[in-house]
Structure 1
């Protein structure tokens, strides 16, 4: 509660606004400490457990909605029962005949559907088999083409490597005295110059 200093109180202690008397701060503080679990060490284990186990899922709007739902369901059940009883009282035999006719129609439709589904399954199996064969052939063709491409690349790489090795051997040839053989180096320079002019 709010406090205010009264003009008539010489101690200057606060009074409650409602005028019920002075506030005893020491007693209030002691109550708060005890409420929180005794001495100023914090919550006791028991107080902590009690605080955690409170049900915070209480939602009055949800409860009201559930009550309305069950109430409506109850009314619907009563209404359906009354309709059923009225139908039986008015004309019990035609209703039974209608049910039998519906069951017969359902059985006929089910047998027709079974025959159609069997035909479709056979056709579907053939179609699936043909699709599988086509797909398999396409995959085989694709793998053969891939293998051929890989093989040609491999051959080209081997040829270029053998050319490079031969050229390197020629370029690194030396005479008996250890001097480089200039014949191959000059030929290589001429070839590169002729290649760049054309």
Structure 2
């Protein structure tokens, strides 16, 4: 090669590996501008905020906050006030049921028993329906298995007949002709 040709190859090589301007500008946009200066990068790396004691305190704080919120939800659910100064309040004696209201309580209990019975009946009915559906499904599957076995046995018998050969190795035509006759008769009907 001549020196002039080598120079041209060198220029071509540089142009192949040089990134187009649009690509570098896209990368700058993607990275959020030109980036940090070397000093800013070094200062950012030298500052460490890793303190195991603080991390442990934060973790404990969030854990306790979770427990407190669960406790408040539980109290709210039980219709107790959210004020922690009254943790275990019993209802006043005026609100305790008098002896005459036992009949009302008896009716309530009876309704609960009736509803429990009806729930049991609904459960039993549903269980029977599911069992019936399962039995029907099993019967269908069993029938399909039987059909499959029957068709397989028929195919096996037909295959044996079709593969029979004479002493000289020629196929036995008797079974093949019968098979063709069955096909013709089947297509007519």
TM-score range, shorter chain: 0.3 to 0.5
- Structure whose CA Rg is larger: 1
TM normalised by structure 2 equals 0.47
